[in-house]
Chain A
């Protein structure tokens, strides 16, 4: 066991959680990151982290309900056992983070304070001001530093993961990486490689993601044969602050704390927002979704804001799309205590005080629900088998994916404040499985014949050298990146149309060919950011194509993936019988659609194109039901639906053979 090591790639919440837990289990860890781990993208998460708690329990909440909200919010596209396990672990994760010193907000009595987030009716979300991600990341960063001081973890910061090393059997034995300062390329033997490199927002040019979120590490695994799941599911956050370099997140907690979204009823009303009387304001989320109001799930809030601006022409401004997010009715002291961090960001970058003036916001690409395909081992009760090396492993043995870069937990749409949870949970939960994996392996990667590691290193070195030797005057990587971002944002975000996606696929393929002909403005071998960016850009294309192809083929609406052509209609009939008939037809169509599309999109890269297959989803714990937020006639549809399910259940009980197949 002594010479065995695990390589963790990525130092955000997932990677750090895995590293510290592995260290506690006496396993030597190498931790690699593009940036000092304390600067990872997890710092940008603002609002909080979800878990059922003592307060919500007394109102009827439970781990099961958190699980249910998560799969319902995700439009049932997740395999349910991992999600159930995560919801069961959530209170324990919060307890641990509390013990590690996270400065969670407190109630007067000294308990953790909670706020409400989208897609639930309970106040489940623990938070540390409006910088919860930063605070959680720091707590884990500190623990990792503790293990680093003890010699158990070795950090490789400012290193770029170039790809996994696979042996003749196709098993992962380590990785190749490049020092971003000295540009040295090196092989790292490892008995398991854990990829925890987050999302790929930079494929969309500007997003709420940080500059390291290029998706390059995931793409390099994908190109090496790892499967990619549900690429077309990309979350567009309803509220971001548009900027020239980045679309900065305005946390859902702003709405969780009572923020109201509205536009003037008169298009482009020139009055100051404060001068517009209540009755001339259109609080469209509250009017259209009386139950959830401003806290509908993200995909819905995003589409409504998009619709108000694009289709109804009610954008606050004439020359750019935006709506008001209004906090001005909340006392300033309370705002500062609960939302200080994000309000400062708005003030700093927009030069306007959001405590006194409504903010102007618009949706932006925010989170990748899809990611590397990962396995799990189910227990009889429907959870995950603790300590199983199958949990979170990709289809490549010894190569694991955790955190945002796996496809497992959020289905078609992620609920707010669930991402921090899935990152920490997968990090902690995977470690004992890795321990068992290492114990089951016969030899250590470090003791293998060095030729495999050397030949892989050389292959990457040759590619790098070739890129540096390119003639001048070729394509400019930065400009191609801008074009890629524009195409992707237009075709594969809020509203998707097949014709547009097809066209985008062609454009992206052309850009891919051009990107292959990039020449560098820096051909040196010292801290060359130009060549590193160019490589990352080239690796964006396989994922971009998978997103587009996945979106093109999926002819339905589910979660963040919305094609108006295939939207389920509201009920139109005014008389009861007519409604009943429409609801029956609605449910027929819903069932037929699920039969066809309630499937994971699973993609393999064939060397130049994505190859898509569909896999069944494990929905054995909670039966998929219509997602009816705000639909006209929702009650009638739900009644019809329930009656159907009751009848089917009765039939199954009458026929034991049918029951047996359902239970398997």
Chain B
């Protein structure tokens, strides 16, 4: 019966959207329903745009627009990750027609659960970028002066590196990972911005670094100049919260919107860290 009633509300020219909202960090979340007029070629971004313009729930109650993060709308910036009908993905490439095919009664939107909610569907992913710092995700060049081209590379090398370098730090792999658990801290009375930031980074550095960062470490370890710092990256992957936390659930590679071979990177990192550990052991 309940199912039928819901079906009735999502008529052909309108559909309903159920959104898990939260007014701010540490506050309790609540569901809210919106009704949106159907148009051709809609995606979840255009749905949220309509909801912002309406600012009214299905019951006619005036509400603040739903808060969410987005930018490029063509799945290259990584901003608009959220749980849509129970699956983590980019809102821009989530097409309404497809979503309604799967579930004609409604579309359900929830924020990612592994990152602290800032407000509604917007979460704080600064831990991801901290992960990139942890693994020294850069090529340590001497300078930005004119020194001629970089080392020549084969096409095969480029074809292995390119897919890894498409990682847009969207957070889907963390959201799907059973080993990646939320770290949420709050600023204490009298704590300076710098102190709070340092405390957060310390906590992040003890938590699991995540598939994206492991994969980036492998990307830079395969770069002809980047590999000069390979040992430091492997040290980082062997420290607390490193690759040993990975439980090999392989969810990450399933949800990656860019089809990055994350589990291949993790396997490579596993072998490389083992060798690195042995080498260190013999060297000592």
Which chain A residues have a beta carbon within 8 Å of chain B's beta carbons? 20-21, 24, 35-36, 38-41, 43-44, 92, 94-96, 98-101, 103-112, 128-129, 131, 134-135, 138-139, 142-143, 145-146, 148-149, 181, 210-212, 242-246, 248-249, 337, 341, 345, 348-349, 351, 428, 472, 476, 478-479, 521-524, 526-530
Contacts and interface: CB of A to CB of B under 8 A. Distances in A.
Given A98-B149, A245-B46, 12 more contacts: A99-B150, A101-B138, A101-B226, A107-B155, A135-B165, A146-B136, A244-B41, A341-B76, A349-B74, A349-B93, A526-B23, A529-B67
B158 A105 contact: yes
Contacts of B46: 244-245
B129 interface: yes
B72 A41 contact: yes
A24 B143 CA distance: 7
Contacts of B65: 521-522, 529-530
Interface string B115-159: 000110010010001001100111111011011111011110111
Contacts of B245: none
27 contacts: A36-B129, A38-B78, A40-B77, A41-B72, A99-B149, A99-B225, A100-B141, A101-B150, A101-B223, A104-B158, A105-B158, A111-B152, A128-B162, A131-B166, A138-B165, A142-B132, A146-B138, A149-B133, A210-B73, A244-B43, A245-B43, A245-B45, A341-B76, A349-B93, A351-B95, A522-B65, A529-B65
Contacts of B75: 345, 348
Interface residues of B, number: 68
A10 to B, nearest CB: 13
B55 A526 contact: no
Contact of B144 (A41, A96, A212): A96
Given A244-B46, A526-B119, A530-B64, A38 B148 contact: no
A43 B133 contact: no
A110 B149 CA distance: 12
Nearest to A143: B138
A50 to B, nearest CB: 16
Contacts of A95: 146-150
A246 B141 contact: no
B230 to A, nearest CB: 13
A103 B138 CA distance: 13
Given A99-B147, A245-B43, A44 B70 contact: no
Nearest to A249: B74
Contact of A134 (B41, B49, B76): B76
B99 interface: no
B179 interface: no
Nearest to B226: A101
> Is the contact region of chain B dominated by helix, strand, or loop, or is it mixed?
loop
Contacts of B73: 210-211, 243, 245-246, 248
B5 interface: no
B161 interface: yes
Given A244-B39, A524-B64, A142 B155 contact: no
B8 interface: no
B42 interface: yes
Contacts of B141: 99-100, 143
B154 A103 contact: no
B274 interface: no
Contacts of A96: 144, 146
B40 interface: yes
B152 A145 contact: no
Contacts of A526: 23-24, 119
A653 B169 CA distance: 63
A39 B45 contact: no
Central interface residue in A40, A96, A472, by most chain B CB within 10 Å = A96
Central interface residue in A103, A111, A472, by most chain B CB within 10 Å = A103
Contacts of B157: 106
B117 to A, nearest CB: 10
Given A103-B161, A110-B155, A145-B138, A345 B169 contact: no
Nearest to B70: A211
Contacts of B76: 43-44, 131, 134, 341, 345
Contacts of B62: 472, 521
Given A38-B168, A527-B119, A478 B52 contact: yes
The 6 closest A-B pairs by CB, nearest first: A521-B55, A522-B64, A142-B138, A478-B53, A101-B139, A98-B150
Contacts of B169: 36, 38
B154 A43 contact: no
Interface string B27-65: 000000000000111110110010011010000001111
B252 interface: no
A243 B144 contact: no
A20 B74 contact: no
Nearest to A350: B41
A526 B226 CA distance: 41
Nearest to B159: A337
A107 B125 CA distance: 38
Contacts of A138: 165
A111 B151 CA distance: 9
Contact of A527 (B40, B67, B129, B158): B67
A520 to B, nearest CB: 9
Contacts of A146: 136, 138, 140
Contacts of B133: 145, 148-149
B43 A106 contact: no
A522 B52 CA distance: 10
Interface in B68-99: 70-79, 92-93, 95
Central interface residue in B23, B72, B92, B119, by most chain A CB within 10 Å = B72
A99 B220 CA distance: 12
Nearest to A34: B71
A476 B49 CA distance: 13
Interface string B213-239: 000000010010110000000000000
Contact of A39 (B23, B52, B79): B79
Contacts of B55: 521-522
A138 B53 CA distance: 34
A105 B159 CA distance: 8
